[in-house]
Every structure is written in structure tokens, then in C-alpha cells.
């Protein structure tokens, strides 16, 4: 199953995927450190203020821990550490957890700040190749909404395949 998904992921070029995503899709933009990212809003189940998160020994370094959202266990992942933007872990008033449905489980993405929802037209999305030919599979493009923001568009599925 997993293999199937990943193969499908490889089958589509990043551009194609950006195309699929690009039909005036709605993106939620958020900050990781000083960088702005966005994911399709359809991926997001809920935006939460941080709840108590229990750290899990032996987990991957990017895992902050587990928390309980109305009785459901959610693994919280620090996207900054995942993207190797930072080594330390921070959480403050503006921190939010994006609850996303990923690969059979609920995952909480810890982000530094939630910005706003952008509706991006196809013309407002650049292919990831502008950043260089070899881009990781979770980078699907660059959003340039009117107003001057620049957002790195993410596809969550490749992030949680393994």
C-alpha cells in the first residue's frame, strides 16, 4: 500500500502535482522561523493552540511528542526540525498546531505562526524547479499571491510516507 502511494507520488512530476493543486486552490500560509510556507487547506483538519505535549523517548528528533485532542492521540511534529531549519524547539503564544490527516493517522504540525488563507490561481504558482532542479518531493511549488507574499507550497503526503 505504502509502496503504491509512493510510486504514485513519484509518477507525477512536481509540476504536474503543482498543476493539480494549482486550480485556484486555497492554501493556509504559516511561518516556520522566518520562512513562509503553505499547505492546501483541504489537508487541515483543525488549527489548535498548543495543548500539553508529552515527549516520547526514542522517537524521531522531529517529533515533539504526543498530545490528546478530545480523546484522540496526536503525534506532534516540529516542521522546523523536520526541515532542519532549527535544532532547538520553541513554542510561544503565536505557536499553533495544524492537525492534518496524514498516512492513516492524525499528525499535528507545530508551526510558529498561522498567517492567512490564500486563494492561488494557477498563474500564481511557480514550479519548484525555479529553486533548482533537485527538489524534495514535498515541495510542490512557490506561491506568489498578490500582495507580495512568497510561499513555499508543500505536499504533506511525501513527508509522512516513512
Partner 1 sequence: MAENVGGGGGRGESAGDKAREEFFSEAQEIVDGLSRDLLALDDVCRRGGSDAELVNDVFRAVHTLKGLSGLFGAAMMSGLSHELENLLDDLRLGRIELTSQVLDLLFQSVELYGRILAAAKGDAPEPAPEVKALLAALGQVAQQKGGGGGSVVAQYELDPGLLGVLTEYEEHRLRTNLQAGLSLYRMRVQFQLATIDSALDDLKAKTRPHGEIITFLPTGEGGDAESVELEILVASRANLGVLRGAVAGPNISVEEVRRRDGASNPLASIPPPPLDDRSRERDQTDPYGGVSMSPPTTSGGDALLDEINAAGAGATRTSAPPPAPSFPPGPGGQLGTFPPGGIPGMPVPGIAAGGAGAAAQGASGGSGATQRELTLRSVTQTVRVDIRKLDHLMNIVGELAIVRGVVARLSERVRLDPDLKEIAPDLHRLHRSFDRHLAQMQNGILEVRMVPLGQVFDKLARIVRQISREHDKQVNLVITGAETEIDKLIVEELSDPLMHMIRNAIDHGIEDKDERMRVGKPAVGTIALNAFQKGNHVVLEIEDDGKGMDPKVILAAALRRGLVTESEAREMSDKEVLTLVFQPGFTTRDDVTALSGRGVGMDIVKTNISKLGGVVDISSEVGIGTKMTITLPITLAIISVLMLEVAGRTFCMPLASVEEAIVFDDAMIKTFEGREVMTQRGATLPIARLAKLFQLEGWRPGVWINESAPTPKPPEVRPGRKAKSYCVVATVADRRVGFIVDRLVGQQDIVIKALGKSLKKARGLAGATELGDQRVGLVLDAAALINEVLASSTEGRIAGALEGPRSPKTGIDPRDARSDGGMS
Rounded to whole angstroms, the maximal C-alpha distance in the chain is: 45
Nearer to partner 1, 20 or 105 (CB): 105
- Do 108 and 67 form a contact (C-beta atoms < 8 A)? yes
132 binds partner 1 (CB under 8 A): no
Pair type for strands 96-102 and 72-78: unpaired
| Closer residue to partner 1, CB minimum distance, 14 or 67 | 67
Hey, which residues between 81 and 100 contact partner 1 (CB under 8 A)? Answer: 89-93, 95
Position 43 contacts partner 1 (CB under 8 A): no
DSSP code, position 83: T
Does position 45 interact with partner 1 (CB under 8 A)? The reply is: no
Q: Looking at 29-37, 45-53, 129-137, 143-151, which segment touches partner 1 (CB under 8 A)?
A: 45-53
Q: How far apart are CA 116 and CA 19, in angstroms?
A: 22
- The answer to whether 46 contacts partner 1 (rule: CB under 8 A) is no
Shortest Å, Cβ 105 to partner 1 = 4
User: Which residue, among 151, 159, 140, has the nearest Cα to 29 in the 3D structure?
Assistant: 151
For residues 79 and 76, give the distance between their C-alpha atoms in angstroms, rounded to a whole number.
9
Question: Which residues of the shown chain bind partner 1 in the complex (CB under 8 A)?
Answer: 49-60, 63-68, 70-75, 77, 89-93, 95, 103-107, 160
Amino acid at each position: 500500500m505504502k509502496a503504491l502511494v509512493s510510486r504514485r507520488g513519484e509518477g507525477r512530476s512536481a509540476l504536474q502535482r503543482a498543476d493539480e493543486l494549482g486550480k485556484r486552490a486555497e492554501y493556509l500560509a504559516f511561518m516556520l522561523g522566518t520562512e513562509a510556507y503553505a499547505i492546501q487547506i483541504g489537508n487541515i483538519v483543525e488549527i489548535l493552540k498548543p495543548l500539553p505535549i508529552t515527549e516520547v523517548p526514542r522517537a524521531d528528533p522531529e517529533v515533539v511528542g504526543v498530545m490528546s485532542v478530545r480523546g484522540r492521540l496526536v503525534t506532534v511534529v516540529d516542521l522546523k526540525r523536520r526541515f532542519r531549519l532549527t535544532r532547538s524547539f520553541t513554542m510561544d503564544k503565536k505557536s499553533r498546531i495544524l492537525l492534518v490527516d496524514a498516512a492513516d493517522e492524525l499528525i499535528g504540525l507545530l508551526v510558529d505562526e498561522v498567517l492567512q488563507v490564500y486563494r492561488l490561481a494557477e498563474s500564481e504558482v511557480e514550479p519548484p524547479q525555479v529553486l533548482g532542479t533537485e527538489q524534495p518531493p514535498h515541495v510542490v511549488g512557490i506561491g506568489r499571491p498578490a500582495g507580495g507574499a512568497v510561499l513555499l507550497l508543500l505536499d504533506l503526503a511525501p513527508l509522512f510516507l516513512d
